[in-house]
Amino acid sequence: MNIILIGARGAGKSKVSRSLSKQSEIPVVSTDSVAVYEAGGIPIPEFVEKNGWKVFRDLEFSILQKLETANGIILDCGGGILFDLDESGNEIVSQRKMELLRKIGRIVYLERGIEELIEKVKGDKTRPDLSKVTSYRHILERRLPIYQEVAHFKLNLSKISKEEAAERILDWLGLKSK
């Protein structure tokens, strides 16, 4: 069985995935780290600047296809994993990625409030700019209901530690901490 963490940029997916791994001894695979590897080491902001969001979203799909037969991993997904772009460049829900994620494992949505998310990612140069077309707030307002819809389990991280979050996920899955 695989555990898949989804949520907005800044929700805490990477920190919770590392805590989950420590508590369960299940290895973590990060879609963003795999994307950097597949892009020849090019950081995601540079990759997106060079190739565009559509190519990056297709790269994410390719990564999910490769992970379809994985077993026994924690999958730390980038914030936009559930989305693609239409022919006009508008963000749309990615049915192809949602179907693959559901095949790959149990999906956990790590939730935080919009204001908290905006504050957490403000000025972070390690992430590609989302605001060239629309504000991060607008993106979050569109995305948050989609995360909820696709998830098997939802966990609000606003008032709990990453360790407690990991414990709750393991409890939900019926797994014990090591």
- 132-167 pLDDT tens trace: 445 778 888 999 999 999 999 999 998 999 999 999
Burial environment of residue 48 by CB neighbours within 10 A (0 to 12, 13 to 18, 19 or more)? buried
Alpha helix positions (H), the chain: 13-24, 31-38, 44-51, 53-67, 95-104, 114-121, 136-150, 162-173
State the pLDDT at residue 74. 98
| Cα–Cα dist 65/87, whole Å | 22
Average pLDDT of the chain? 91
State the pLDDT at residue 137. 83
Alpha helix positions (H), 25-90: 31-38, 44-51, 53-67
How much of the chain is helix, strand and coil, in % rounded to 5?
50, 15, 35
Given pLDDT bands bounded at 50, 70 and 90, which one contains residue 112? very high
Judged by average pLDDT, the poorest of 31-35, 50-54, 71-75, 127-131 is 127-131
Query: Once rounded to an integer, what is the mean pLDDT over residues 119-133?
Result: 60
Q: At what angle do helices 53-67 and 95-104 cross, to 10 degrees?
A: 30
HSE of 81 in the Cβ direction (CA atoms, 13 Å)? 32
Query: Once rounded to an integer, what is the mean pLDDT over residues 65-92?
Result: 95
* Domains identified in the chain and CATH numbers: 3-173 (3.40.50.300)
> 10-62, pLDDT tens digit by residue?
899 999 999 999 999 999 999 999 999 999 999 998 999 999 999 999 999 99
